[in-house]
Amino acid sequence: MLKDGEETAIELLDTLIGRDNSSQEASLDKTYKAFNMTSSPRGVCIIINNVNFKGMKPRKGSKVDAEALKKVFTWLDFTVECHEDLTKDQMKTIVQECSQRADGDCFVCCVLSHGEAKGVFGCDDEVLPIEDILTPFKGQALAGKPKLFFIQACRGKRFQNEVTIQADSFHEDDQGLELDANPLETISIPEDADFLVSMSTVNEHSAGRHPTEGSWFIQSLCKQLKEGILRGEAISSVLDHVNYDVCQKEAPIGGKRFKQVPIWSSTLRKRLVFPVPRSSDL
């Protein structure tokens, strides 16, 4: 449950406003078409990977993340499009163009960049608000289909405060961490429905990235996607595993133990379960 006042990438809906029509409600399956997807390819996955910047440090290790994402979503039968070192305006253009031609059963957008509370940086050091990434996909083309956004970027400069709990798992220390800072029947649904946004860290806090191994968040996401899908888990369970996994990690930075917890919010109306690909090999 999100805390009161917590800034989220999309506004969660308290109620779905629609007609009081039992036949419409009965026609809504409890699971997305993704539960038994027929489209091949499954849909489009775009990866925006900003590594080099005008005035900020390069994001070493981000290419490892981009490759891992490309591998797992290709395995899931998505058409993957990779874009590197885009300016703010170029990022905005890419998402707008993609929203007009994206089809299939599902859409995925991954953004890897430096960031702040408002949004993510282009390679020109200009900020693109998260809402500008989401808004183009509220149109009719993808209505009723799940739209997933995974964002690896800092949302501020604060570090997570450490608290002590009873240990129930073993974790290793990570060294050299860097920060990503500075058709027969129609029904109506809200345009904000069917979005899921998963971010590497909570608002106002930093997100870690290893210069050779990639980021905690993206590497865990790719690992948990494969393992969870092979177990038949819904995306919500997969992301719970990601949160748990990242929370176990820590690294020494500035004399303190750096900790991180991802956050995700959803207006998905049904369970989203990806079918197990024909090949279990990534």
Instruction: Tell me which residues are annotated as active site.
Output: 114, 154
Interhelix angle 216-230/235-247, nearest 10 degrees: 140
Q: What is the SS3 assignment for 99? A: helix
Radius of gyration over every alpha carbon of the chain, rounded to an integer in angstroms: 19
248: phi then psi, degrees, rounded to nearest 5: -80, -15
Question: What does DSSP say about strands 106-112 and 43-49: parallel, antiparallel, or unpaired?
Answer: parallel
Q: Which two tokens mark 115?
A: 């960031």
Q: For the chain, how are helix, strand and coil distributed in percent, rounded to 5?
A: 25, 20, 50
- Answer for the pair 169, 128: CB distance below 8 angstroms, yes or no: no
Spatial distance between the Cα atoms of 125 and 55, rounded to a whole number of angstroms: 7
Distance of CA 250 to the CA centre of its chain: 21
